[in-house]
Structure 1
Amino acid sequence: MSAPAFTSPGGLRELLRRFADPTHPSQWNGPEGDALARHCIARFTPLARKYRQPPQDAASFAFEVMCDPHLLDVDDPWAVVTTAVKRSFSAQFTGDSLLCGDRAARRAVDVHDPQRITDRDWTFLEAQLSPETDNDDAPVPRTTKAGDIAPVELDSAVSDAVRLLRACGWPPDAAQFALEYIGGRLELAGNPATAFEYLRRDKVARAQLDIGQHAWTAVLTAVLGSPDTDRGLGPTGKGMLLRILAGSPLDQVATDTGLVSALASSAPRERRPSHV
């Protein structure tokens, strides 16, 4: 089987021109976009391993630079994409090591000594999952350190969140994918703000779910909360995943009308098999 045309510099340029043309049927979230994402993952897997990053991130990094119209004017767009992906992996690796965001890791300022994530408190949980009521008799949500959150605990919270998304009209597969994707990034990032900012720019997940940027941001805000607590959908900006981790019952989280409305309005359409 011959390689897709977009694997060559000229073929990639032509595909990106079609993607940039609003009158052309080719779309980022169509079959060609899916094939391009899979190719980027395979192409940049060695780089991902070198920097100890998930190979799936390669597609997101690549798509981010591919959306730049200036890429259409360069002689070898794949060379530019490769350099950008390498820099992004390097920044992400440095950010993970220094416990800061990849944007900060690109600058050689404010560098601090690295710590293992298990050596520090998950203060974001202690701060964000504080009691939501003034009732002295109300149970106090547990505070949690990084080493205390076992994968099974996060998996349980994700499963509960999937149930809520399905109740809000999300197709089962889409709900499962979205929550596992977001939960995986939260586990890697160690705090919701970093996970939110990374995922907000993620084009791979949006393409997989076939939803727009506004809907994707609404999902992230509902699940993770907002870095700006004034914009958070949950009480004091808390996302539903952290509230479930704090011990809030699912039926209590489901009474948050703003959160439920955001999830329902952003639900992707269920894909039906085409009949030829």
Structure 2
Amino acid sequence: MMNGIDDEQQYDFRTSEGLRRLLARLCGPGAGAWERDAEARELMLFAADKYRLLARKHSLDPWEAVAAAFEAMRMRSTLNAADPWAVVTHAVRITCIAEERGQGLLCSTHQARRAHVSCFHDAERISDRETPLWEYHPAFRVTDEPDIDEAAGEEPAETRTTAMAAAEEAAVMCSMLGWPLPVVRVAIEIICNELIHSGDRHRAHERLRRDIEAEALLEIPRTSWIGLIRIVLGSSGPELASTNAGRGMLLRLLIGESLPSLLRDDELVLAITISAPANASR
């Protein structure tokens, strides 16, 4: 009787040894073995049921987990492992996590597996939060609030421009100089989001410069994308930090410069015109 039980476990793919036997048989015939083998179909149905809850936990379809299990089962390391099912389960779990992170980060599963990418939180728009980020995030703090003489009831002499208004004015100015308004609005929104997440203009500049996905989303030449980043955030060179070129258009609007004043800046106007997609070289 014991021998009968051992033989049944050996040929049952639900056990590790049974899975090893089946995988060894499927690896032997060559191409098409998985399609022709009836037991392979039963194995995939069993995997769909086995990993159904794991897939649901990560907001995935069960068959996405089955696809991950299939890829793991085809590897030679799974066949030679001490516990093949443990290897498959671990591979499915890692893939489900990467799939969920990729959907949240709006990137590929391959990128989501990288630690320097998965460490970020899911993508979100500024409008997704109840309190606008420009009201409390330090990236938008350019100067201290002026003192108000409450006894005299005096208001500040200068009304400060909000970050949203500054971003809109920057988009309007670029549209006046050759940029399509819908494109430049989205581009400046991407730049502002990165500035918020980075908390530093120079760090945001470097990350945006390497953001190929944003460039592809906007469908503009790379020279236009790089030029717009420099125009909005300013040049990153320390020797230009105290100049208009170093401050950038967004900061200049935030500290009180008006749109007509920026339009009188010949260097800024020339930079915006040259970087417009219609004028830039790919």
Shorter-chain TM-score: what band? 0.3 to 0.5
TM-score by length of 1: 0.48
Larger radius of gyration: 2
